[in-house]
Amino acid sequence: MTGYQEVITDPSYRGQIVAMTYPQIGNYGINPEDAESAAPHIRAFVIGELCEVPSNWRATQPLAEYLASHRILGIEGIDTRALTKHLRSLGAMRACVSTELDREAAIAAAQAAPSMAGMDYVHEVSTPVGYHWAEESRRWRLPNQSTGETTHYGELPPLRHRIVAYDFGLKFNILRRLRQAGFAVEVVNARATAAEVLAKHPDGVFLSNGPGDPAALGYIHQEIRHLLGHLPIFGICLGNQILAHAFGGKTFKLKFGHRGGNQPVKDLRSGKVAITSQNHGFAVDPDSLPPEIEVTHINLNDGTVEGMRHRELPVFSVQYHPEAAPGPHDASYFFNEFAALIQTQSRIQS
């Protein structure tokens, strides 16, 4: 029921039509504070039933109005359960949503659409200019409706580590969680070179989520490869796949991808299982990884790689989203693990 706004504004969905399986969408409207980026990135939105009159004191506009303002096409009245079962049987496929084309023309348009395989959408969503994250990162901001004043809950910790975050399609909540873990974050464009990053003398590097085919990002693989061994690195989602390529491994396209907030992941080191939020259509080929890379987490539904680490260098990554908003939060500890890794590395070097 919750999370549709975060999905719509997640840059990882660039170039995709998204179908929601909850029966009614739009119940709580749209609230700018919950967006994961500055604008929506989906191509179209498919739902069962639209709630036209939202009920939420934080909402600033209804869902339909928000989509229209960004020229995003939506369609309701769809049996999304039947659609989901169809995709699980035949796999994710190209599609077309139109108010103008007839059936044959719409099918032709879908068939002519580019495949996700081989597609680089990162250059479309990465920040054109680097910046320091200085936005509000407290856990809660509650405005008083009568006075207009804002009450803050959950004060931020002091800044302990400076890191550079590559923006491959970075979600705002990742930046919030990094700040809540004591990181001062400088965000750079996806084409930032290793030399440019090292010249900033950060304590660590973060590799973000993002859209498209990780195999199509050779220009990024090369720069991340040059960073290995110089400082701690933590990757999420696309960042995990980019690290696999930087290690010399490969990725492959999943039949229908992992989507949503109910994906079970097992930590092979502890045996613990976490329920995670995921959004990716590609996966790391474990057989392609060199011996110095350890697979640390697997998906319990299909056994695919969900996390890995270098056996000698301070580098690790996960395929799922520890920053997931609205949740689950089983994996949120990874941000503190990154901080601890940087602290350990700092003691070793000193």
How far is it, in rounded angstroms, from Cα 42 to Cα 277?
18
Whether cis (ω within 30° of 0) applies to the bond prior to 158 is: no
> Quick one: 318 and 246 in the same domain?
yes
Q: Is the peptide bond before 143 cis (omega within 30 degrees of 0)?
A: no
User: Could you tell me the sign of the dihedral formed by the alpha carbons of 176, 182, 186, 187, in that order?
Assistant: negative
Residues 259 and 169 in one domain: yes
| Residue 77, both tokens | 């009245």
- 326: number of Cβ within 10 Å: 14
Name the average pLDDT for the chain: 92
Are 107 and 146 members of one domain?
no
| Contacts of 271 by beta carbon, 8 Å cutoff, 6+ apart | none
E strand spans, the chain? 17-19, 24-25, 44-46, 49-50, 73-75, 131-132, 140-143, 150-153, 161-167, 183-189, 204-207, 233-236, 251-267, 273-284, 293-299, 305-310, 315-318
Instruction: Identify the active-site residue in 41, 221, 237, 310.
Output: 237
CB 243 within 8 A of CB 46: no
Give dist(CA 28, CA 43) in Å, integer: 22
Residue 269 belongs to some domain of the structure: yes
The DSSP letter of residue 30 is: B
Residue 162 and residue 165: Cα distance in Å, rounded? 10
Domain count, the chain: 2
Residue-level pLDDT at 134: 77
The residue range of the domain holding 21 is 4-112
> What pLDDT sits at residue 263?
94
Q: How confident is the model at residue 153 (pLDDT cuts 50, 70, 90)?
A: low
| DSSP string of 127-172, one letter each residue | -SS-EE--S---SEEEE-TTT--EEEESPPPPP-EEEEEEESS--H
Residue 57 lies in a domain: yes
Query: Coil, strand, or helix at residue 250?
Result: coil
Residue tagged active-site, from 258, 280, 297, 321: 321
Known catalytic membership, residue 321: yes
Question: Are residues 202 and 266 both part of a single domain?
Answer: yes
Amino acid at residue number 223:
E
Helix 238-246 to helix 218-227 angle (10° resolution) is 70
* 42 or 142, higher pLDDT: 42
The answer to whether residues 215 and 281 belong to one domain is yes
What pLDDT was estimated at residue 261? 85
Do 31 and 172 share a structural domain? no
What would the pLDDT profile of 159-200 be if each residue is shown by its tens digit? 999 999 999 999 999 999 999 899 999 999 999 999 999 999
Q: Within this chain, do residues 150 and 98 fall inside the same structural domain, yes or no?
A: no
> How many whole angstroms separate alpha carbon 24 and alpha carbon 8?
15
Q: What are phi and psi of 238, to 5 degrees?
A: -60, -35
Q: Do 48 and 187 fall within a single domain?
A: no
Residue 179 lies in a domain: yes
**Neighbouring-strand partners of residue 164:** 186, 205
Pair 243, 103 in one domain: no
pLDDT at 344 over 70: yes
User: Which CATH number covers residue 11?
Assistant: 3.50.30.20
* 139 and 225 in a common domain: yes
Question: Looking at residue 269, what DSSP letter applies?
Answer: T
Together in a domain, 272 and 326: yes
At 162 the pLDDT is 96
- Helices then strands, each counted (H, E), the chain: 10, 17
CA gap 214, 220 in Å, rounded: 9
DSSP readout, 39-68?
Answer: S---SEEE-SEE-SS---TT--B-HHHHHH
Confidence of residue 345 (pLDDT cuts 50, 70, 90): confident
Question: Which residue among 112, 134, 150 closes a domain?
Answer: 112
pLDDT at 194: 98
Interior/surface letters 123-146, b for 16+ CB within 10 angstroms, e for the rest? eebbbeeeeebeeebeeeeeeeee
Is residue 249 assigned to a domain?
yes
Is residue 33 annotated as a catalytic residue, yes or no?
A: no
Q: Which of 112, 140, 163 lies at the terminal end of a domain, its last residue?
A: 112
Please determine, for residue 247, whether its predicted confidence score (pLDDT) is greater than 70: yes
- 307-343 pLDDT, tens per residue? 999 999 999 999 999 998 888 888 889 999 999 999 9
Q: Give the domain CATH number at 297.
A: 3.40.50.880
Quick one: pLDDT at residue 43? 95
Alpha carbon distance 107, 94 (integer Å): 9
Q: Is the pLDDT of residue 139 over 80?
A: no
136 flagged as catalytic: no
Which of 112, 141, 156 lies at the terminal end of a domain, its last residue? 112
The verdict on 93 and 223 lying in the same domain is no
Residue 117 resides in a domain? no
pLDDT digits (tens, 9 = 90+) for 17-75: 999 999 999 999 999 889 999 999 999 999 999 999 999 998 999 999 999 999 999 99
Q: Is residue 103 part of a domain?
A: yes
Strand 305-310 and strand 140-143: pairing? unpaired
